[in-house]
């Protein structure tokens, strides 16, 4: 199956305007923008036919082309990354069997997350979409709970059935647990990693569906697939000692830079 990775990036983020162009300093002191680091993460994925940055903003286009990325310009009417990926795929003439939406705010996404995701979707012909989930250790769970306690949106969590089909995604911490966990303890909470591998037919259908109440309430684009009866497959991935965090708010910048330094990532 041919695979396209599209990295949707917009300047006018509600929570963090200009986020794709925010500089992040790696372990060696080298500074690169968020969009460049996300592109480099995509380029490290094996078995992919093409990688593009999808944006509606000239500033992002200019920076992306400056570091060597292929850019597809999309309209400013896209309401989320999945719509932008669908528009980019169409602009390229279609033809890719799987389109990976590697969101431009996850520069720490390991290549094997995406590779395992593609493999999982290929093995599940009844699924229209696949997305990775990572079991939280106590440190990650306590970080999520602390964010919510202080009114911040941290990571998204996922619950899924025995066949790994998604039951729900939420910016709240689900499922509820009254237990306490040490930093290294495994927990029953799964962090949803914001990457999607979508079959071309499901992606093409997505923009025409109305935004449903769950997507509206949570602000999570993957819920539109579920509200329209498409199976979303949760693929459990392994951290392999790597830390993972999305850049959602300005306070995430030093956290991600600290993680990069600890892992020796330039």
pLDDT band at residue 252 under the 50/70/90 scheme: confident
Q: Is residue 250 very low, low, confident or very high in pLDDT (cuts 50, 70, 90)?
A: confident
pLDDT for residue 68 is more than 90: yes
Mean pLDDT of the chain: 93
Distance CA 114, CA 152 (A): 27
pLDDT tens digits, one per residue of 83-118: 999 999 999 999 999 999 998 788 889 999 999 999
- 8 Å CB contact between 82 and 151: no
Residues 130 and 124 sit within 8 Å (Cβ to Cβ):
yes
- Residue 116 CA to residue 98 CA, distance in Å, equals 13
Is the pLDDT score of 22 beyond 70? yes
pLDDT at residue 26 tops 80: yes
pLDDT mean over 132-150: 92
| Angle, alpha carbons 15-131-145 (nearest 5°) | 50
State pTM to two decimals: 0.92
Residue 109 CA to residue 129 CA, distance in Å, equals 18
Q: What is the mean pLDDT of residues 17-28?
A: 89
- Comparing 143-147, 153-157, 183-187, 192-196, the range with the smallest average pLDDT is 153-157
pLDDT of amino acid 1 = 64
- Encoding tokens for residue 217? 């309430």
Q: What is the DSSP letter of 210?
A: P
Kind plus residue range of the DSSP H or E element containing 63: helix 58-66
């Amino acid at each position: 199956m041919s695979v396209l990775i599209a990295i949707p990036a917009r300047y006018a983020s509600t929570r963090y305007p200009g986020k794709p162009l925010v500089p992040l300093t790696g372990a060696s002191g080298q500074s690169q923008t968020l969009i460049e680091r996300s592109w480099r993460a995509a380029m490290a994925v094996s078995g992919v036919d093409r990688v593009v940055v999808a944006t509606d903003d000239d500033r992002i286009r200019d920076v992306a082309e400056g570091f060597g990325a292929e850019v597809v310009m999309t309209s400013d009417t896209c309401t989320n990354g999945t719509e932008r990926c669908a528009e980019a795929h169409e602009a390229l003439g279609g033809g890719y069997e799987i389109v990976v939406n590697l969101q431009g705010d996850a520069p720490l996404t390991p290549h094997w997350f995406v590779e395992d995701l593609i493999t999982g979707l290929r093995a599940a012909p009844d699924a229209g979409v696949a997305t990775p989930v990572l079991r939280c250790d106590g440190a990650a769970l306590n970080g999520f709970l602390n964010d919510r306690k202080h009114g911040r949106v941290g990571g998204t969590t996922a619950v899924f059935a025995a066949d790994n089909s998604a039951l729900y995604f939420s910016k709240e911490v689900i499922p509820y647990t009254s237990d306490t966990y040490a930093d290294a303890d495994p927990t029953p909470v799964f962090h949803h990693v914001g990457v999607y591998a979508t079959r071309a037919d499901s992606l093409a259908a997505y923009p025409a569906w109305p935004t449903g109440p769950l997507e509206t309430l949570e602000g999570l684009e993957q819920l539109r697939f579920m509200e329209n009866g498409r199976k979303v497959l949760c693929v459990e991935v392994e951290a392999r000692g790597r830390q993972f965090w999305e850049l959602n708010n300005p306070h995430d910048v030093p956290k991600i830079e600290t993680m990069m330094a600890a892992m020796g990532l330039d």
